[in-house]
C-alpha cells in the first residue's frame, strides 16, 4: 500500500484566510480573552501532506513538560522497535512514551496484527486521557487508523466529547484528518508541502527525519 496524495482539508470550519483581522482587532481579541480568563483542554490536529506534523506535536510536548505538565506520547503505526532521536530524548527526560505499531501499513507483513496494535493503542489512549492523570496526551499518526476504517472517526469524536477531562489537551497528528475530527477540534493546522528533499532523491537523515 502506498501513501495517498491527499487533497487539502475542508476549511469550512476555519477562518477565511483572506479576511484576517487588523492589528487593532487582534489586540481587542487578545484583551477580551484575558478578561474572560477561559481555560480549556484543547483538541489539536496537525495534518496535511507536508513534513512537520509530529515535529510540531513534539515541540508542544517538550514545552508542556518543561512547564511541569504531565505528558504522554502514544505512537500509532511507527514500529515499536524504532529508536528515534525524539524517543531517546524523551527517555532522558522521563517522559512516558508508548509505541503501539509494527511499521506503516505499506510495509506491514501482517495486516491483522497491524490493526490489532492500532486498536490496542486507542484503548490505551482512552485509558490515559480519561484517567485525568495527564495534562497533555499526543496521539501520533492516529489519523491513519481512522482513515483506513479500523476506528470510526465519529466514535472517536463522541468519546472525546464525553470522556476527555475539561482541562486535558489532546494532539492528533497524521495525514487525511477526517472531517468529523477537524470539525470537533479547537485548533487545526495543515502542513502544506512546497518542497521536500525526498523529491530530490535525498534520503532521510539522522537528526532531521529520525
**Quick one: pLDDT at residue 24?**
82
- Nine-digit cell at 209? 527525519
Looking at residue 29, its pLDDT comes to 74
CB 141 within 8 A of CB 173: yes
To the nearest 10 degrees (0 to 180), the angle between helices 53-66 and 85-93 is 10
Q: Return the pLDDT at 10.
A: 55
Listed by start position, the domains of the chain span: 39-200
pLDDT score recorded for residue 198: 84
Closest among 191, 2, 179, 28 to 107, alpha carbons compared = 2
pLDDT value, residue 204:
86
Which of 89, 85, 40, 93 is closest to 66 using CA atoms? 93
Determine the pLDDT at residue 96. 97
Look at residue 168 in the predicted model and tell me its pLDDT: 98
pTM here?
Answer: 0.81
Looking at the domain covering 39-200, what would its CATH class be? alpha beta
Query: Helix %, strand %, coil % for the chain, to 5?
Result: 45, 15, 40
CB 53 within 8 A of CB 173: yes
Per-residue pLDDT, 207: 84
* Residue numbers of the chain with a pLDDT score lower than 50: 1-5, 12-13
Amino acid at each position: 500500500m502506498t501513501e495517498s496524495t491527499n487533497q487539502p482539508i475542508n476549511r469550512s470550519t476555519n477562518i477565511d484566510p483572506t479576511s484576517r483581522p487588523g492589528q487593532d482587532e487582534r489586540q481587542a481579541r487578545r484583551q477580551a480573552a484575558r478578561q474572560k480568563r477561559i481555560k480549556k483542554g484543547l483538541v489539536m490536529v496537525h495534518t496535511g501532506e507536508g513534513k512537520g506534523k509530529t515535529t510540531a506535536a513534539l515541540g508542544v510536548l517538550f514545552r508542556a513538560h518543561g512547564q511541569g505538565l504531565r505528558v504522554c506520547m502514544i505512537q500509532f503505526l511507527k514500529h515499536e522497535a524504532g529508536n528515534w532521536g525524539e524517543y531517546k530524548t524523551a527517555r532522558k527526560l522521563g517522559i512516558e512514551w508508548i509505541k503501539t505499531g509494527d511499521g506503516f501499513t505499506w510495509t506491514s507483513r501482517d495486516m491483522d496484527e497491524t490493526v490489532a496494535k492500532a486498536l490496542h493503542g486507542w484503548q490505551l489512549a482512552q485509558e490515559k486521557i480519561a484517567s485525568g492523570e495527564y495534562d497533555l496526551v499526543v496521539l501520533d499518526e492516529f489519523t491513519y487508523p481512522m482513515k483506513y476504517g479500523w476506528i470510526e472517526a465519529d466514535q472517536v469524536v463522541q468519546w472525546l466529547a464525553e470522556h476527555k477531562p475539561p482541562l486535558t489537551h489532546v494532539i492528533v497528528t497524521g495525514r487525511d484528518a477526517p472531517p468529523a475530527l477537524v470539525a470537533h477540534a479547537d485548533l487545526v493546522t495543515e502542513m502544506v508541502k512546497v518542497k521536500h528533499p525526498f523529491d530530490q532523491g535525498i534520503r532521510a537523515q539522522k537528526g532531521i527525519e529520525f
